[in-house]
Amino acid sequence: MKYKSIRGTRDILPEEAKKRQYLEKVAREIFQKYGYEEIRTPIFEVTELFQRSIGDDTDIVTKEMYTFLDKKGRSLTLRPEGTAGIIRAVIENNLYRQKRITRLYYLGPMYRYERPQKGRQREFYQIGAELIGPDNPASDIEIITLTLELFHALGLKNLPLYLNSVGCPRCRARYRESLKDYFKDKIKMMCTDCQRRYSLNPMRILDCKEKEDRVYIEKSPKISDYLCQDCQEQFEKVKEYLHFMKIDYTIY
């Protein structure tokens, strides 16, 4: 046959489409139960949106985005994830002024130029929920319980919950300095990606999958030791809520 599906994409045939319809139905029911409303954003956005939201130094932006120039020379990108477009839509349409808390969910295709393999395609489907409002433990707990309820409704039991906190900008600034100090005498022995990340954002070094580099990364400082008092208190309250609700978790 002359024409075939592009590498990293595949046809969703009727039998699988039925399964996806069921998954979408269950997800919508759970989201709506929690008061979330569906939002649909464009498949492509201006490239700068993802550069600013995801980060210029991330693998997604530097290696995986489908970016092109339109007929007017504007740089556009097929969405690699859903959050950035939703935040853009909330701000552009003043949704945050209409409600103290905005609850939105989305379902749709995303695109990343990755190496195709089982369970990973260049066109993939993502379901997600965004709670936009006060930064407090109740918001964190709501997203966690919503997600667990969705998994349970789909028959996924005994799933581990890994918990952590990235703190606030002040916490992350202190943590970045600590990582720079830790890696400064090791970085020359690490991969070129790690060396590039060291100067741009040393926290991205932690994403490295190279076996030799993981030896250093596993012994690096933990962000939990650099949380400010407010962030530490919020994290403790999240853990208290989980204990109260008898939800097991592991600090990661």
Q: Is 95 a domain residue?
A: yes
Maximum C-alpha span of the chain? 63
Whether 180 has a pLDDT exceeding 80, the answer reads yes
Residues 6 or more apart from 192 whose CB is under 8 A from it? none
Query: Are residues 155 and 176 located together in one domain of the fold?
Result: no
Strands 123-132 and 102-111: antiparallel
pLDDT in tens, 184-236: 999 999 999 999 999 889 999 998 999 999 999 999 999 999 999 999 999 99
Cα 97 to Cα 87: distance, rounded to the nearest angstrom: 13
Domain encompassing residue 192: 169-242
pLDDT in tens, 21-58: 999 999 999 999 999 999 999 999 999 999 999 988 88
List alpha helices for the chain, DSSP H.
14-33, 47-54, 59, 83-92, 95-98, 137-153, 169-183, 192-200, 211-217, 229-244
Query: Are residues 173 and 155 located together in one domain of the fold?
Result: no
48-52, 92-96, 97-101, 177-181, range with the lowest pLDDT: 97-101
Q: Mean pLDDT throughout 158-164?
A: 93
Residue type, 28: R
Query: Are residues 76 and 138 located together in one domain of the fold?
Result: yes
This prediction has a pTM of 0.88
Cα 126 to Cα 86: distance, rounded to the nearest angstrom: 13
Whether 134 has a pLDDT exceeding 90, the answer reads no
Cα 77 to Cα 80: distance, rounded to the nearest angstrom: 8
Q: Which of 112, 141, 159 is the last residue of a domain?
A: 159
